[in-house]
């Protein structure tokens, strides 16, 4: 593919030329075409578009990650406030995940201890086997439980972030 221009620079330091694989270049049927026939760039993310031209206004809102983090923590209700939030705008998962994880650790350890005691009542060799092999299985269950909880927290964190962006941009 050395002779074709794929729209990507061959040299990592070289920038592509004008019109090289530009999805917003003036083509027929392109909804971003301005009234003069030239292509107008789409509004940039995190900025308010101004006027009919679609160009960002000079007073556009810039993205600030620190402000977004403060906003995400600022409107958080307490545990009981989130539990009785019937509009489901505040999530309970981040508030209870630590408690659920501690309960999970205690239950896994309790099941292992009961298994060891039960195995010793059956035979001494079964008890020794449960005593030696049981922690490996308990650790595997704990790892799977932790991954499951992290998955739930990641989904809720993503939903909170998307909700905050939508609220900031006036979508919701």
Contact present, 91 and 163 (Cβ < 8 Å): no
- Which range among 36-45, 99-108, 149-158 shows the weakest confidence by mean pLDDT? 36-45
Q: Mean pLDDT, the chain, as a whole number? A: 73
Number of domains comprising the chain: 1
Give the tokens for residue 115: 């298994």
Assess whether pLDDT exceeds 50 at residue 145. yes
pTM of the model: 0.52
Strand partners, 131: none
Terminal CA-CA length for the chain: 47
Going from the C-alpha of 40 to that of each of 15, 16, 43, 44, 164, the distances in angstroms are 21, 19, 9, 11, 29
Strand partners, 56: 49
**Count of positions (residues) in the chain:** 172
Assess whether pLDDT exceeds 80 at residue 95. yes
Assess whether pLDDT exceeds 90 at residue 21. no
Strand partners, 49: 56
Q: Does 113 fall in a domain? A: yes
Give the tokens for residue 22: 């530009």
Instruction: Give residue for tokens 């556009």.
Output: 60
pLDDT given at position 57: 46
Assess whether pLDDT exceeds 70 at residue 67. no
Q: Does 140 fall in a domain? A: yes
Q: Does 51 fall in a domain? A: no
Q: Does 148 fall in a domain? A: yes
Give the tokens for residue 147: 């991954």
The residue range of the domain holding 107 is: 93-157
Report CA 166 to chain centroid distance, whole Å: 15
Q: Does 10 fall in a domain? A: no
Give the tokens for residue 134: 């049981």
Residue 49 pLDDT level (bands cut at 50, 70, 90) = very low
Q: Does 69 fall in a domain? A: no
pLDDT given at position 45: 52
Contact present, 149 and 98 (Cβ < 8 Å): no
CA neighbours closer than 13 Å in the CB half-sphere of residue 91: 17
């Amino acid at each position: 593919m050395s002779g074709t221009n794929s729209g990507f620079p061959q040299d990592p330091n070289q920038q592509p030329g004008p019109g090289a694989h530009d999805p917003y270049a003036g083509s027929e049927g392109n909804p971003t075409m301005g009234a003069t026939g030239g292509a107008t760039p789409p509004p940039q993310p995190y900025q308010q578009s101004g006027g009919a031209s679609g160009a960002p206004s000079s007073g556009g809102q810039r993205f600030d990650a620190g402000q977004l983090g403060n906003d995400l923590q600022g409107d958080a209700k307490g545990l009981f406030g989130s539990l009785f939030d019937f509009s489901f705008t505040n999530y309970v998962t981040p508030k209870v995940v630590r408690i659920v994880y501690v309960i999970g650790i205690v239950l896994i350890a309790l099941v292992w201890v009961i298994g060891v005691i039960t195995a010793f009542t059956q035979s001494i060799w079964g008890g020794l086997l449960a005593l030696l092999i049981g922690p490996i299985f308990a650790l595997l269950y704990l790892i799977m439980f932790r991954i499951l909880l992290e998955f739930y927290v990641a989904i809720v964190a993503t939903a909170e972030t998307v909700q905050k962006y939508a609220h900031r941009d006036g979508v919701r």
